[in-house]
Amino acid sequence: MNKRKKINKKNKELILTFISFIIIVITALFGGELYFNINKKSQGSKISSNGYTDKLQVYFIDVGQADSILISNKNETMLIDAGNDENGKDIVNFIKDKGITKINYLIGTHPHADHIGGLDDVVKSDLEIDRVYMPKIQTNTKTFEDVLDAIQNKGLTVTAPKKGDTFKIGDANCEIMTDSILDKDNLNLASLVIRLEFGENSFLFMGDSESENEKTINWPKTTVLKVGHHGSNTSSSEDFLKQIKPEYAVIMVGKGNHYGLPKQKVLDRLIKVGAQIYRTDENGTITMISDGKMIEVENN
């Protein structure tokens, strides 16, 4: 009887030892990954009921072959461009779905329809708008006239910012980097270029600016580049990219677009400087959340 008890006790000890060994192996194989995933999730920016957080949130909205970028920090927001005419209502809904009710800075980078097409819907919505920035260049298209009519009907005015002008979005500092080149034969050159700094992170929003704009100044190193002109060869010159050395590059482009964008030469240049590339045609809407040091990237 005593011998059987000893055997049972020995078996229990062996079983406990085996279980402990399995736990150690599982922890070694998967523990780090599980820990990483848990922490990655916990680092996500918690959105309050009014749509704002202490972290900087940058949404590169998938609007096909067009641009629209929503930026928010604390209780302030900026919208850069609003896609084509058909994107306007979707962009308004996107903004409202974030719990945002006010746009402090509404930017139309230049008068092309794929950038200002939906601006009139944004202006005509019940979103409160403080300031409207657009370059000092005009066109006679219906799209442009619709935007101006909407702005006037809401009692707003348009400001044409110049190089060196600064403003804030929450704790983020924004600066107009270049003067618009006013050439009615090439409206891309009028693009407003905005650089945003938030802690140690920086974002450069190029609109459709081209290499002619890129040559006008010496550029500081930048964490995130919104690639100019949808990845066209007219933008993102080799010298420009060597100066800014972006860690991330976002290309806003439509699936199967007939322009063949982004161009492989531009992709090669971005890869050469070590940029991690995100594309709305492949990744959908791209969200970047910054705590001032690290950037978390989400896409859908």
Per-residue pLDDT tens over the stretch 277-299: 999 999 999 999 999 999 999 98
Report the alpha-carbon distance of residue 78 to residue 104 in Å, rounded: 6
Right CATH for 56-299 from 3.40.50.720, 3.60.15.10, 3.40.1190.20, 3.20.20.80? 3.60.15.10
Q: Are 94 and 120 in contact (CB under 8 A)?
A: no
Instruction: Give pTM, 2 decimals.
Output: 0.84
Compute the C-alpha angle 80/81/86, nearest 5°.
145
* Residue ranges covered by each domain of the chain: 1-42, 56-299
- Look over the chain and give the mean of its residue pLDDT values, rounded to a whole number: 88
Three-class SS string for 175-203? EECCCCCCCCCCHHHHCCCEEEEECCEEE
pLDDT at 53: 74
Tell me the mean pLDDT in the region 235-249.
Answer: 98
pLDDT tens across 193-239, in order?
999 999 999 999 999 999 999 999 999 999 999 999 999 999 999 99
DSSP structure class, residue 231: G
Cα–Cα distance for residue pair 244/222, rounded to 1 Å: 5
Q: What is the spatial distance between Cα 228 and Cα 196, in angstroms, rounded to a whole number? A: 16
The secondary structure element, H or E, covering residue 279 is: strand 276-279
Identity of the residue numbered 99: G
Q: Which two tokens stand for residue 233?
A: 């060869």
Q: What is the DSSP letter of 3?
A: H
**Per-residue confidence (pLDDT) for residue 211, from 0 to 100:** 98
Nearest to 77 by CA among 91, 94, 57: 57
Q: What is the pLDDT of residues 127-149, one digit of tens each?
A: 999 999 999 999 999 999 999 99
Least Cα distance to 204 among 180, 220, 182, 215 occurs for: 220
* CA nearest neighbour of 222 among 208, 240, 236, 202: 202
State both tokens at 61.
């909205």
